[in-house]
Structure 1
């Protein structure tokens, strides 16, 4: 049995983390790319924990052995299959304790060389939280813009072209507008967000700058690190502008058209829109209710933009002193326009950074 440090795990592509914790633990906090091969189901884990509290460690260990013994051939077989991919499985649990040590020992008994993550998931999390501020590139390029101006599409296009983009909404699995949350599923928690953020920053390590969308500190269930917020406020700022009709159509095409025939769509939109009725004027609320009842989603989106999202975003923009470099999102060459302006702004920034 050999212990592998977190740094060794992260710095090599030959390793694959194998999480032997219960599925509920893996869902709550996992190393990106890890495979969950649990010793216990969620129910079995709860049973053993209860037994430990009531009857002590010896009784809990005995029950754990009874549960695990019949599973061993399958568990070890699954880990053995992973080795056939060319990757080296690294066993881990929460803190490198009994569960990972037991599995690694069983592998050794079966004649399979085993590797264990030193300190378990807890050591991994401590490591990435310490490293995130250290590997943040020096300069932030920040895209601002009202809802529906296509900022996310621009970020994705830039990333595909190799730019050092950090897509915070993707990492949080959360978008700010009500339609932006359609089809997204459950937002990621802080641990998942931090792990995905570290992975991306590690990928672009060495870049002098990074490109992000202007987000508030909290995105859904997760919060950005203070160091990123500070770099954002001191960054180079671009304001993406677009007409109301174009913005309405973008939102409709991306978030309404693909889902409007789904059984859950109408009820989900109704639930989210209803929560906003008290936050806009009475006339706008009345118009919104009519559009909702008639399923006129184009009108509904326009009312929300004009009477809810735009006033709030305009207020948020006042937090930045500028200057803002403007980008016309409705122009056919918007991506090329943005690339040129980023290059020019970075090259001529006071920091002296160059692409």
Structure 2
């Protein structure tokens, strides 16, 4: 049975990681780009585990064989399709144990050329921990600031469409940072965030600049490394500005329009806002809860912006030394053009920027 260490596996150009763990294990954390070909469903894995605890290893192995035997043809078909597509399958489970060994054995009997990842996903996690360092950073960041709902993510991806390199931390965290942040997304845990962060930073390593948003240390369930937070403070800082009305409308269009008719939407919003209610004044809390109960989400959003998020914004700006460039974002296309003009004056983003309006 061929095995490969994670260091060598990461260097292969035509690899395809095949995760043979259960769907819930795969969802909790997996190697980016890996496909899930589970030999056990979550329920089947639980049954085999119970058999192991109650009746011992041999009984559990027999139970597993009964479960897997009918699935072998379909498992092998999936692996063969990847090989026929020009990929080199690398099979892994949790720690390189029985599940990956079994699949590799079946594959060899079927005449399929596969490789087993030594140490399983645990070895990948250790590799990420060792390699996710500040050495991956670009030379400089272009940091977009702005109050909640101003449209930072929209502008970031408009810059991407123009060919500018970006780092979208909210996408990596599966969370948009606000009360509505996790709605419509699969919120990522720290392991997944760090894996995705490594791979995206690897793409921009050494570039003269990368555009990103000024995110807080914690985004959803994920926490940024200190060296990334420090690197952002030395970047080119652009503050996006628009009215409360436009910001509220953009948030409404992003969250309420696509998800507001879902039966549990109001309940999910209520759960999301619960942790911050105690930080509000009684009047603000009553107004927000009243708007939520009435289903008046535009008023809910507007009050949340003016009475909760906006007063905290200046404190966040104080974490950055500046200088700051202020750009109006009422017109999205014009905003992007102004940002490009600002960046073009920085001589390929490497020279010191001239002083501008301070905050």
TM-score, normalisation: structure 1: 0.89
Instruction: Tell me what 1:76 maps to.
Output: 76
CA 1:275 to 1:69, structure 2 compared with 1: closer, same or farther past 3 Å? closer
What is the CA-CA distance between 1:166 and the residue it aligns to?
0.8
**Residue deviations 1:70-103 (CA, integer Å, cap 9, x gap):** 3322222221222232322211112223321221
Instruction: Tell me what 2:252 maps to.
Output: 252
Return the alpha-carbon distance in structure 1 between the equivalents of residues 274 and 58 of structure 2. 55
Instruction: Tell me what 1:197 maps to.
Output: 197
Return the alpha-carbon distance in structure 2 between the equivalents of residues 190 and 274 of structure 1. 23
| 5+ long unaligned stretches in structure 2 | 354-359
Return the alpha-carbon distance in structure 2 between the equivalents of residues 259 and 18 of structure 1. 33
Instruction: Tell me what 1:227 maps to.
Output: 227
Return the alpha-carbon distance in structure 2 between the equivalents of residues 309 and 46 of structure 1. 44
What aligned pairs does 1:119-268 form with structure 2 within 5 A after superposition?
119-133=119-133, 134-184=135-185, 186-268=186-268
Instruction: Tell me what 2:114 maps to.
Output: 114
What is the CA-CA distance between 1:275 and the residue it aligns to?
5.7
What is the CA-CA distance between 1:113 and the residue it aligns to?
1.7
The runs of at least 4 aligned residues of structure 1 exceeding 4 Å deviation read: 270-278, 348-352
What is the CA-CA distance between 1:221 and the residue it aligns to?
0.9
What is the CA-CA distance between 1:15 and the residue it aligns to?
1.5
Farther off after superposition, 340-349 or 19-28: 340-349
**Residue deviations 1:196-237 (CA, integer Å, cap 9, x gap):** 112212222341332221111111111112221221223222
Root-mean-square deviation (Å): 2.5
TM-score, normalisation: structure 2: 0.88
**Residue deviations 1:291-350 (CA, integer Å, cap 9, x gap):** 334433322222111100101122222222222122221245111111222343464645
Instruction: Tell me what 1:335 maps to.
Output: 336
Farther off after superposition, 60-69 or 298-307: 60-69
| 5+ long unaligned stretches in structure 1 | none
Return the alpha-carbon distance in structure 2 between the equivalents of residues 55 and 267 of structure 1. 44
CA 1:3 to 1:160, structure 2 compared with 1: closer, same or farther past 3 Å? farther
CA 1:26 to 1:276, structure 2 compared with 1: closer, same or farther past 3 Å? closer
Return the alpha-carbon distance in structure 1 between the equivalents of residues 64 and 104 of structure 2. 16
Q: 2:240 touches 2:327 (CA, 8 Å); kept in 1?
A: yes
Q: 1:236 touches 1:345 (CA, 8 Å); kept in 2?
A: no
